[in-house]
Amino acid sequence: MRKIKLLMALALYPALLSAQEHVTVKGRIINEQGDAVEYVQLGVPKLQLGSISAADGRFEIDIPCDTLEFFHVCYQPAAYPVTGPADDVVIILHEHELPPAVSIGGKTKEKYLLKPGTGLLKNLGIITTSLRSEHPSGREIGSVAQAKRPFLVQDILLTVRSNHIPGCVASINIYRIEGKKESFVNVLHKPIYFDVAVSNDPQDFDIKPEETLLLEPGKYFVAFQVVGCNNEALQAFLAKTQEEQESWEMSMDFNIYLKSSYVREVALGGMGHLPVNIGVAVKGLEYQ
């Protein structure tokens, strides 16, 4: 019986290998008007494979033949069945119908919904993003907030300790954490992008959301993500041998704070627990 099982496994092995072979899919992402959609997250979530499209909507990803999924906060999710290599795939995203603006009456009080917590190892920092491939993976890392009452977000504050990613474009994402299995549901309807300059010195950011962002009572993950960079600088870095590459090149770091949070290693991948956070703060108005 064992021999039969072994022979069956050996017979199936080439098929399993073939199923896992990666193919290259290239294309561009546009909206219904034909305009490019920037910084779209794409990947195969169940396989923990993901990337982010460029500012001009173009993308390239190596994946097995499976369903390639696309996500952007302004548009409905889309999918493309990968059956082999493809050089000019066109993905059309359809806009969300935005819900009406929510307004609730009553008194409000200025408050911090989230503070950084206790700092740790401030002289060392924590490397949160290091672009070591042609297509940045889309790592997300941040801090966790707990809203006990309805809360209107007015400012999202964070400090980047140092940045060595030329042309860096970053984003802030906010997810509501639901259920015992911790499903992460995006709450934004408009993307929040900002530029991070190359600097050895700390940079403080005060980001004000363009949309009315009212959080209902619950638990939230406020995440930072690098979504774009100078492609010429990235290609020049990748052209170097490993011996020539410096550890600080194409990387960014933050101070470490003692409070548990989450991390997503690749775009559209699964969230994992993290024992520390990067010190994001959120302030605004709490409804009484």
Instruction: Spell out the residues 6+ positions from residue 165 whose beta carbon is closer than 8 angstroms to its own.
Output: 129, 131, 196, 198, 226, 229, 250, 251, 252
Using CA atoms, how far residue 228 sits from 54, 59, 285, in Å, is 7, 12, 32
Q: What number is the average pLDDT over the span 115-131? A: 70
Q: Is 167 helix (H, G, I), strand (E, B) or coil?
A: coil
Enumerate the H helices of the chain as residue ranges: 2-20, 231-238
Return d(Cα 274, Cα 150) in angstroms, integer: 27
Question: Which one, of 189, 190, 182, 172, lies nearest residue 218 by Cα?
Answer: 182
Q: How confident is the model at residue 170 (pLDDT cuts 50, 70, 90)?
A: very high
Average pLDDT, the chain: 88
Check pLDDT > 60 for residue 131. Answer: yes
Task: Indicate if the pLDDT at residue 121 is higher than 80.
Answer: no
The pLDDT of residue 247 is 85
Q: What is the pLDDT, as a whole number, of residue 197?
A: 98
The pLDDT value recorded for residue 148 is 96
- Look-up of token digits 């775009």: 267
Per-residue confidence at 218, pLDDT binned at 50, 70, 90? very high
Closest listed residue to residue 53, CA positions, set 245, 191, 161: 191
Distance separating alpha carbons of residues 281 and 222, to the nearest angstrom = 9
pLDDT-derived band at 153 (thresholds 50, 70, 90) equals very high
Task: State residue 116's pLDDT score.
Answer: 85
68-71 contact pairs (CB < 8 A, 24+): 68/25, 68/42, 68/43, 68/44, 69/42, 69/43, 69/44, 69/45, 69/268, 70/29, 70/40, 70/41, 70/42, 71/40, 71/41, 71/42, 71/268
pLDDT band at 194 (very low <50, low <70, confident <90, very high): very high
Instruction: Please report, rounded to a whole number, the percentage of residues in the chain having pLDDT higher than 70.
Output: 87
Average pLDDT in the 100-118 region?
84
**What is the distance between the alpha carbons of residues 197 and 258, in angstroms, rounded to a whole number?**
26
pLDDT at residue 130, as a whole number: 72
Pick 97 or 108 by higher pLDDT: 108
Per-residue confidence band for 159, with pLDDT thresholds at 50, 70 and 90: very high
Q: What is the pTM of this model?
A: 0.88
Q: Is the pLDDT of residue 7 over 90?
A: no
The string of DSSP codes covering 220-273 is EEEEEEEEE--HHHHHHHHTS-TTT--TTTTEEEE-EEES-EEEESSTT--EEE
pLDDT: is 283 or 6 the higher one? 283
Name the β-bridge partners of 284.
111, 153
Domain-wise residue ranges, the chain: 2-93, 108-287
Higher pLDDT, 128 or 58: 58
Structure tokens at 108: 């409000």
Top CATH class, 108-287: mainly beta
Mean pLDDT across 261-266: 92
Taking only the tens place, the pLDDT of each residue in 53-81 is 999 999 999 999 999 999 999 999 999 99
CATH fold match for the domains 2-93 and 108-287: no
The arrangement of secondary structure in 2-93, i.e. its CATH architecture, is: Sandwich (2.60)
The terminus-to-terminus CA distance of the chain in angstroms comes to 70
Mean pLDDT confidence for 225-252: 91
Give the separation between CA 109 and CA 151, rounded to whole angstroms: 10
